[in-house]
Structure formats: structure tokens, C-alpha cells
Amino acid sequence: MQPFNYQRVTDAQGAVRAIGAAPGAKFLAGGTNLVDLMKQHVEQPAHLVDISRVDLARIEELPDGGLRLGALARNSDTADHPLVRQRYPLLAQAILAGASPQLRNMATNGGNLMQRTRCYYFYDPAYGQCNKRKPGSGCAAIEGLNRIHAVLGTSSECIATHPSDMCVALAALAAQVRVRNARGERMIAFADFHRLPGSSPQVDTNLRPDELILSIDLPNGPYADHSSYVKVRDRASYAFALVSTAAALELDGNTIRSARIALGGVAHKPWRCEAAESLLRGKAANEASYRVAAEEALRGARVYKHNGFKVELAKRTIVLALTLAANGETHQGEAA
């Protein structure tokens, strides 16, 4: 780990002032991803701004019935919050499917949004070809071992996947991200927060370098009774998803009034399946409907030498998640 300057701030105004004064600086909150990357010499910030004492850990109701999740609330506290469990059980399920209890006790909501891919070519500087780590160097994964890599939204520059479980649920719930810099606040729709790789895979999000995440805002919605998060991974715990699905249904009897589907482990960002959702509206809540939606969700998938299995696996995971959601059941994750 290379030397760096360290600065602690105690309020949001001080945080954005500090980050604006030190180009290339990084915010430090829980540190569960950034510190690892610094140890690996993948991230080498010359200046860290410690925001762990900023008052951004509250979880509170919004006037419209939604919920505001403070950016510095710990993942474990968020998953265990009574209002999250009551109104957004999909989010609680997704958080608890990720990492380990020790990491969830340290990791923050804002940090979860900002975590970087676990692509092994990105994580190991011994590999010279990684456009995400060294723009213009190439993508070793395209011709290399790519079993864990993306099948949707890829580019010739990068086929890495986004690692978060929490973010897949937030995509399905159509969250918004409230951010701030020295010029004021703005809201970013969750669908627009993370980026596809395109020609600049080194840029993971549309958050500006001088912006601080204040909160994640969840809209009031009809999905509390019928939602499920299904995660398929190589081992039963402490593993990233090969494929995951966050599914939520609004039912009128056995008829689907509206649906939400988002996928993890298949793209550079949490992948919202809006076309598949549209196909489910007005349809019967049964396996036949779910299979049609699953086919639509994976339309246009592009596979590589080692990850073709993800397409069929994603389809089956969608069907299972929708089935569990319709039945009001949850899922604890499954080993591949």
C-alpha cells in the first residue's frame, strides 16, 4: 500500500469541501472494498477523506410513504431495520445474501453502491490487460477464463460484472440516489447510477468525482407481500453471485398487475429487465408466464468461452424467483 494523506471530517459540507480540494481523493467509510484494493495496489489514492463520523446513518420515513436509507447506515442495520423488513423485504433478503456478518457490520449502504468488480484480471495487477484498471491495455477476460463474466451489456473493452447483491434489489425497487457537492444536491435514478462499460469501463458510475452519496431513497410501492431474491453461487455462503434475480409482483388474485425483475452477476451493472416486466402485466401468475418473461430478459445475451451456462441459469433463476414471489416465499441462496 502506497503512502497517502488522511483527513477526517464530521459533516457533509466538510466532506464535499475536502474532496473538492484534493483531486483524485477518495471517500473512506466502511473500507471493506477500497482498503482491499489499496492493499492490492489497484486503487492508489494519494488522499483519503474519512466520512465515518458524518451524520448519514439514519433510516427514516419519507413524506410520501417511502424510506430514506442513510448512506452511512451499515448493511446489517439496514437489513434488520423494522421498516425495511416490513415494506422492502426484497432488500433485506438481498443484503443478507451478500458477504459475511462481519463484513455487513462494517460495510455501508453508500459503499455498497461504489464497490468495484471482482473480476480477477482487474484485481491482480500482474495481468497487464485490464481496461478498467489501465485504460487502453485490453481485456484479458474476453479470451481468458471468463466463467464469472457478463453476458448482457458487454463491450469489446470489458466484460466484468457488478458484484453487489443489495444493488440488484435496489434496481428492482427503482430507488433513487441523493448526492451532494459544493454546488448543491441532486437525485440520480438508480437505473442511471451505474454505467455499462462501453468505451470507458474504468468509469463505474455517473457519480461526479466531487460528489458525496447522502442517501438511497426507496419509493412507496406495492411489492412488500410478493418479492423474492434468489442467488446462485459456487458455495453456500460468502460468495459472489454467478446469477441472481430480484423479483417482485403486484397481484390481483392470480393476475399480475405489475412486476419488477432485476438480475445480478450478468452485467457491468445491476440489470433491470423492463421488457420482461411488461410482458407479465395482465398475465396469469404461473410458470408459463414466467418462462416467457425469462426468455425476453435474456434476449440479446452474448456468451464467451466459459460462461454460456449463465444464460439458461439466469432464465431458471428468474422463473424460480417469480414463483417464490407469487407464493410469498423467500430464498436463502443456492450453491451451483
CATH at residue 291: 3.30.390.50
What local confidence, expressed as pLDDT, does residue 237 receive?
86
Q: Among 37, 52, 67, identify where a domain stops.
A: 52
Give 330's pLDDT tier (boundaries 50, 70, 90). confident
Q: Give the model's pLDDT for residue 15.
A: 98
Q: Is the pLDDT of residue 203 over 90?
A: yes
Question: Rounded to an integer, what distance in angstroms lies between the CA atom of residue 108 and that of residue 30?
Answer: 6
Q: Is residue 300 part of a domain?
A: yes
Give the mean pLDDT of 41-51.
97
Single pTM value for the model: 0.97
Task: Answer yes or no: is 328 within a domain.
Answer: yes
The confidence band for 335, taking pLDDT boundaries of 50, 70 and 90, is: low
Mean pLDDT of the chain: 97
Task: Quote the pLDDT of residue 23.
Answer: 92
**Residue percentage of the chain with pLDDT more than 90:** 96
pLDDT digit string, tens, across residues 59-95: 999 999 999 999 999 999 999 999 999 999 999 999 9
Note the pLDDT of residue 317. 98
Which has the higher per-residue pLDDT, 336 or 186? 186
Rounded Cα distance between 234 and 237, Å, is 9
Residues 107 and 304: their CA atoms lie apart, in Å, by 32
Would you list the DSSP string of 206-266? S--TT-EEEEEEEPP-S-SSSEEEEEEESSSSS---SEEEEEEEEEETTEEEEEEEEEESS
Determine, yes or no, domain membership for 265. yes
pLDDT, tens only, 312-321: 999 999 999 9
Other Cβ atoms within 10 Å of 35 Cβ, number:
14
DSSP β-bridge partners for residue 28: 50
Choose one of 52, 70, 85: the last residue of a domain. Answer: 52
Residue 330 resides in a domain: yes
pLDDT exceeds 70 at position 334? no
* For residue 331, pLDDT beyond 90: no
Domain membership of residue 162 (yes or no) is no
Residue 119 and residue 148 in contact, taking contact as beta carbons nearer than 8 Å: yes
pLDDT of residue 324: 98
In a domain, 80, yes or no: no
Kindly indicate the confidence band of residue 139, based on its pLDDT and cuts at 50, 70 and 90: very high
Structure confidence by residue, pLDDT tens digits, 268-313: 999 999 999 999 999 999 999 999 999 999 999 999 999 999 999 9
Considering only CA atoms, which of 52, 328, 98 is closest in space to residue 212? 52
Alpha-carbon span 271 to 226, nearest angstrom? 20
Q: Rounded CA gap, 230 and 245, in Å?
A: 5
pLDDT (0 to 100) of residue 336: 53
Q: Where in the sequence is the domain holding 287, given as residue range(s)?
A: 227-335
What's the CATH code of the domain at 30? Answer: 3.30.43.10
pLDDT score, position 332: 54
Quick: pLDDT tens for 220-243.
999 999 999 999 999 988 899 999
3 state SS of 55? coil
Q: Are 256 and 157 in contact (CB under 8 A)?
A: no
Q: Evaluate whether residue 233 is within a structural domain.
A: yes
Judging by DSSP bridges, how do beta strands 47-50 and 5-8 pair with one another? parallel
Asked whether residue 60 is assigned to any structural domain, the reply reads: no
| Count of structural domains, the chain | 2
pLDDT score at 123: 97
Strands 271-272 and 255-264: antiparallel
